[in-house]
Amino acid sequence: MPLPASLEEFLTAWDAFRAGIGFEEITDTLGIEPHACDGATLAMRIPLAPRLRQAGGMFSATALFGAADVTGTFLAMQALEPGLFPLAVQSSLNFIDNSRSGPAVATARLVRAGRTIVVASVDVADADGKLLTTSSFTYVPKPFSPKGD
């Protein structure tokens, strides 16, 4: 499947995915939502909400990892045939900096999309464009039923 080429296509794919889940999950907790896409990259944003801050008022490490994970996973989903889900089997994330400037924007690009493996690179930056994390995720395609059937 091709990556969405516009934010409108991205929103349509995101809304369809979320509608098929049927229960509250991590995307609800993060408040993550589509931000941009151009056919080669896909970006999502999370707010600097109180529930996502650490004690110093900056983004928590778990929120930044979550933003990278969800964005990379959704990007990988677009590279797979319908009925398959990219199960993360490896991740590597480096925390570069932190910020009190939200939202944070996670931008993912495909490194490799094959039949048996998908690799995504994801950077997270603050609202001013300052790099907060850089990461890579490796996925294997698995059969998927959105409601956990």
For the chain, list the domains and their CATH numbers: 7-143 (3.10.129.10)
pLDDT score at 24: 81
pLDDT score at 84: 93
> pTM above 0.85?
yes
Bridge partner residues of 86 (DSSP): 141
pLDDT score at 19: 87
Phi and psi at residue 119, in whole multiples of 5°? -125, 130
- Read off the tokens for 39: 């056919």
pLDDT score at 146: 62
Integer CA distances (angstroms), 49 to 45, 82, 93, 103, in order: 12, 33, 22, 9
As a dihedral over the C-alpha atoms of residue 90, residue 95, residue 98, residue 102, rounded to 10 degrees, the angle is -30
pLDDT score at 105: 99
- Read off the tokens for 58: 């900056």
Give the Cα separation of 30 and 60 in Å (integer).
Answer: 11
The 3-state DSSP class for residue 73 equals helix
Task: Render the burial of 72-93: b for 16+ CB within 10 Å, e for the rest.
Answer: bbbbbbbbbeeebbbeeeebeb
CB-based contacts of 116, cutoff 8 Å, min separation 6: 140, 141
pLDDT in tens, the chain (149 residues): 678 999 999 999 999 888 888 788 899 999 999 999 999 999 999 999 999 999 999 999 999 999 999 999 999 999 999 889 999 999 999 999 999 999 999 999 999 999 999 999 999 999 999 999 999 999 999 998 765 55
pLDDT score at 1: 65
